[in-house]
Structure 1
Amino acid sequence: MLLGAGTGLLFLTTKLSWLTPVLLGVLFSQLPNTPSKGVFVRVFWFAVGFFTLHLWWLPASLGALFGPISYLLFALMVPILAGMWAFTAALTRLLYGGNVLLALPFSWVVMEHLRSLGVFQFTWGTLGYLWVGSPVAQVADVGGVYLLSLLGMLLACFLAQLPRISPVLFFTLPLLGAAVVAGLAPTSTPPGALKAALVQGSIPPEQKARGRQQDELSTYLSLSQGVPDDALVVWPETASPVALDEKRKAELLHINPRWLVGAPRWDGDRSFNSVTGLSASGSAAYDKRILVPFGERFPLQDQLPEMYRWVFSSMGLPELRGVTPGTVQTPLEVGGVRYGTYICYESTFPDLTRQLVKKGAQVLVNVSNDSWFGQGLGARQHFLMGTVRAIETRRYLLRAGNDGITAVVGPEGETLTSLPRGVRGVLLGKYTPMDGETLYVKYGNWVVGLSWLVLLALLAHRSPWQTSPKDRLKSHPQG
């Protein structure tokens, strides 16, 4: 658990994040000689330490708003996440015996992909993000964040066998070397040509929780006055407390000719978390498709109504209902440029931005409201994960947050300019629409498919020599 806690402290937000494979190597070093049950226990407690420290900002920030129930829910969440890691390692040990360290990198990639699907989809702790800020991260345009995870796990499993050098795993070093060389190669990214005005209103989350106010809209309108006419104005997630009717659209167009506005949208009694693209040629909306579990949607609420009522009342909230997920995933065209727009939590799901670029998006735009995270590490983690979307697609990324992180990110994942968190202001930055498709955009999560194939091939060719020495001794005690 202490080893996991140390890894959780280093992972993603520090310059020592690259040490993650070393610490995992220590954890994995005994797996070939440990029975499956022991592997589960060993990895479970490591993961408990990891997720407790890596996600501690979650109860710490929400606890200030909603009280002790936030810590109780966190205490339930951590064992579930830890169990996913432990089950993956234990099942790999059971199926592949002493060859567990060869199979584990591929089963880990499969687990991470499955964790991004379904009702409880949650992507924090994806190991590929350990490479953020390093040259290795640049190969995300080849295979996405799952390729980065595979490289990290291959290195961890390679280190776990030292000082014995495994011929099978020795290809890890050439792969990493090639990734570093590719990441250090000079690029030809075009400099920014168009202007964007990213508005950061810094509305306190307590104010939003008490009920939306007209003052919020007035704040954003005031900040947007004086923005150059040739700049695209971007408001963050739910910046407007009200839907944009024709009168409000006309008011915005009187201020500036091009907008991307975070605002709610209603269709009858259904509400959507939306972004509206607005120009003189018309308007269109993108509705958030991937909703935050237990924030924007409440899994099994109809089946467990009493439990939810108790949780809501314990947090001092009325009985909430989730917003409706969107179904259309198309870029918003504003002023002749196609913007792949997505909202907050969606920035951690690589396939969503990939699909937007496949459909013609020339610029990525992420609007968010991370003020719920407080001043802890959550907003920083969220931002860093999102920068990998720029690398995967080789697009400029415009990010507007209610209280930050508001920034312009280049196609190599580098932060070109940003605003400090918690201040009200407008960030003026430059970007360039880009075309073309990276290998990741063309072929998607091929690393996940490859991992399934490798696992099936290893399982089909498993033979007695792949069991551990301890297992062979149990089978042949006289040997």
Structure 2
Amino acid sequence: MASFLLSVLSGILTSLSMPGFLSGALIWFSMVPLFFAMERGGIWKKAFLSFFYFFTHVLITFFWVLPTLTENLPLVFGRYPSWLGVVVFFLMGVIEAAPFFGFGFFSHFAPRGTFLRPLYLASIYTIFEYIRGIGELGFTGGRISDALFRHLGLIQVISITGTLGLVFLIVFLNALFYELLKRRKTSVIFTVITFLYIFNATIVHLLPLPESGTFEIVALQPSISPSLKYSTSSREMLKLLEEMLKGREGQVVITPEAFFLEDVRYSPVSSNLREISKKNTIIIGFPAGEKNSVFLLENGTFKRVYSKVKLFPFVETLPYPKVFGIFSFLRGLSYYEPGEEFSVFSVNGSPTFSIGICFESYFPEVSRKFVKNGSEFLVTVTNDGWFHYRVALLNHFVQGVFRAVETRRQFLQVANTGITGLIDEYGRILRVLPMEKKSLGLFRVKPRKEETFYVRFGDWFFYLSILLGGLTWILAKL
């Protein structure tokens, strides 16, 4: 029982280190109770303790999903009772935590030693963190590296390693501190932490000063709740668009995800939209055919520029239908087909850029492929109005911090209720619009052309972790 409570405590501490909770500094010690819990016991006990650690972390970190499943979705779509949302929420926790059975299982073979053991455990954890993000159910939300979004000096390394490098560092130090605590060498822990924060501050001071960009974008934040949005006609949304753009002629305007809920190319508002586009270039989202898409509306012409590739499981697509067919009641307006390419485009001779949709900003490979295809800055459009809590908006927005540093591209998020804001290529949040307020913001974006090591080689750190895990195990046997 004590071991179980320690693993749950680690989950709580990890969640409290996430964006919008208590403090990112907790992440350096959050796994220490788990390592004490796993100190004794068999291989399956360690596997279950590791599972419950991450299960606890996910349920607390994503607590804001629960009211969406039990209130918002049933209210808007009316396909299932609220109590069923609770079941789905716990199932989400099980799916996300399942890979960490593997971490606990393989931790049983960790070598002894103050250095070799932390190196092995960090390698194994990184491997299973990567596995959690792949496949139709893959998701990277709650990655422990998220805790460091304010540590601007340390996170510069992800332009080389990706966020897996930060994951490795966090687990390594937690395992090292566990070993040092057992040996009562607390002074060494204090020295390591002090060095870490001095290093972080030094790198921050060495970063180039923020520069104002040359390309101007007007971001539209209409701030409409889902219950209202799904009962608002396209004509009423058109009226809102006209009202917000009054006096804004000659600019590039980006609206949030699914500004319209129907294919407006063939609706009664089409002619009005075409007229607006003769004064403003508009990038606007709406479902088209079987895809969640973003269109460029310029000089009276609709041009599809991107269709969402990474669809959200159960809401936008049904993963493994033979297994999860009973959960089709969770779908939104309809199920979509994934887009086929990571598009790059420009408007009026602008720098090239790409637009991701909603939770695609959680996936490093999406931004990486945009940049590989020539994108000079990144945009994400989203509708986070489903979520009642500001911590949810912050969790989503700070993904842009990591995508910006990984690719060295400025990152603009345009959201229905917020957070709408611009992040520079070093992860600094330059400006945000007030949350949950109808706003129009002018952002000046700076393009960049060079590719980072991470953009060129992707998640190579995953393969390095496999190599390090194997080598440390072999070295311990010699």
Give secondary structure in 2 for the equivalent of 1:364: strand
1:147-205: CA deviation from partner (whole Å, max 9, x where unpaired): 11111111111111114479xx9x98888876664444232553222221100112221
The aligned residue for residue 119 of structure 1 is 136
1:100 CA drift (Å): 4.7
* Distance change in 2, residues 1:342/1:285 (3 Å): same
1:88–1:22: structure 2 CA closer, same or farther, 3 Å change rule? same
What does residue 69 of structure 1 align with? 84
Letter in 2 for 1:294: F
Given the superposition, is the C-alpha separation of residues 357 and 440 from structure 1 closer, same or farther in structure 2, using an over 3 Å criterion?
same
Contact 2:318 2:324 in 1 (8 A): no
Counterpart for residue 126 of structure 2: 109
The 5 A counterparts of 1:200-239 are 200-210=221-231, 213-229=234-250, 231-239=251-259
1:337-359 C-alpha deviation (Å, 9 max, x unpaired): 21121111100011110111111
- More moved, 356-365 vs 246-255: 246-255
Looking at structure 1, the residues matched to 117 and 214 of structure 2 have their Cα atoms a distance apart, in angstroms, of 51
CA contact (8 A) 2:119 2:468 kept: no
Cα 1:56–1:206 change in 2 (3 A) is same
Moved more, 95-104 or 26-35: 95-104
Query: For structure 1, which segment, 153-162 or 180-189, has the greater mean C-alpha deviation from structure 2 after superposition?
Result: 180-189
| Equivalent AA in structure 2 for residue 140 of structure 1 | I
Structure 1, unmatched stretches of 5+, are 465-479
The aligned amino acid for 1:264 is P
One-letter amino acid of the counterpart of residue 329, structure 1 = F
Distance 1:180 1:30 in 2: 34
Partner of 1:477: none
Matched, 1:323 2:336: yes
- Alpha carbons 1:57, 1:376 under 8 Å: kept: no
CA contact under 8 A between 1:44 and 1:83: conserved in structure 2?
A: yes
Provide the rounded CA distance (Å) in 1 between the counterparts of 2:314 and 2:307.
18
Q: Relative to structure 2, which stretch is displaced further, 187-196 or 96-105?
A: 96-105
Number of residues paired by the alignment? Answer: 449
| CA–CA separation in structure 1 for the residues paired with 2:224 and 2:125 | 40
Deviation at 1:333, TM superposition (A): 1.7
Which of 265, 273, 276 does residue 252 from structure 1 map onto?
A: 276
CA distance in 1, matches of 2:228, 2:234: 8
Kindly report which structure 2 residues correspond to 1:186-335, keeping only aligned pairs within 5 A, or say none.
Answer: 186-187=207-208, 189-210=210-231, 213-229=234-250, 231-245=251-265, 247=271, 250-256=274-280, 258-266=281-289, 271-280=290-299, 283-301=303-321, 305=325, 307-308=326-327, 312=329, 321-335=334-348
Deviates more, 1:420-429 or 1:290-299: 420-429
Deviation at 1:94, TM superposition (A): 3.7
Partner secondary structure for residue 371 of structure 1: coil
- Does the 8 A contact of 1:13 with 1:377 survive in 2? yes
8 Å CA contact 1:139, 1:182 repeated in 2: no
CA contact (8 A) 2:220 2:441 kept: yes
Q: By how many angstroms is 1:214 displaced? A: 2.9
Task: Give the corresponding residue for 2:95.
Answer: 80
Name the TM-score, length of structure 1 as normaliser.
0.85
TM-aligned CA deviation for residue 127 of structure 1: 1.1
Shift of 1:237: 0.5
1:276 counterpart letter in structure 2 = F
Q: Distance in 2 between matches of 1:265 and 1:421?
A: 29
User: Over the residues paired in the alignment, what is the CA RMSD in angstroms?
Assistant: 2.9
- Structure-2 change in CA distance of 1:444 and 1:178 (3 Å): farther
Letter in 2 for 1:274: S
- Would you say the 8 A contact 2:309–2:340 is kept in 1? yes
What per-residue deviation string (whole Å, max 9, x for no partner) do you get for residues 398-424 of structure 1?
A: 211111111122112222221122211
Say which of 432, 456, 468 aligns to 2:470.
Answer: 456
Cα distance in 2 for partners of 1:186, 1:446 equals 25
- Summarize the Cα distance change of 1:304–1:111 in structure 2 as closer, same or farther, 3 Å threshold: closer
Q: Report the TM-score when normalising by structure 2.
A: 0.85
Which moved further from structure 2: 330-339 or 451-460? 451-460
CA displacement, residues 238-297 of structure 1 (integer Å, 9 cap, x when unaligned): 0123335374663232231x332112222xxxx111112344597342000000111101
1:205-258 deviations in Å (ceiling 9; x for gaps)? 1134457643223322321232252x32111100123335374663232231x3
Partner of 1:399: 413
Q: Percent identity?
A: 25
The CA distance in 2 between the partners of 1:437 and 1:415, in whole Å, is: 21
Distance change in 2, residues 1:241/1:341 (3 Å): same
Summarize deviations over 1:4-48 as a string: whole Å, max 9, x none. 224313322246112112121232145354432232233233323
Residues 207 and 253 of structure 1: CA distance in aligned 2, closer, same or farther (over 3 Å): same
Question: Once the 2 structures are TM-superposed, how far is the Cα of residue 386 of structure 1 from its aligned partner?
Answer: 2.3
Give the partner amino acid of 1:53: I
Is 2:393 aligned against 1:361? no
Task: Tell me the amino acid that sits aligned with residue 316 of structure 2.
Answer: E
Query: Could you say what secondary structure the match of 2:94 adopts?
Result: helix
**Structure 2: 5+ residue runs without aligned partners?**
1-7, 75-81
Task: Provide the C-alpha distance between the structure 1 equivalents of 2:52 and 2:366, rounded to a whole number of angstroms.
Answer: 33
Please give the alpha-carbon distance, in whole angstroms, between the structure 2 residues aligned to 1:438 and 1:111: 25
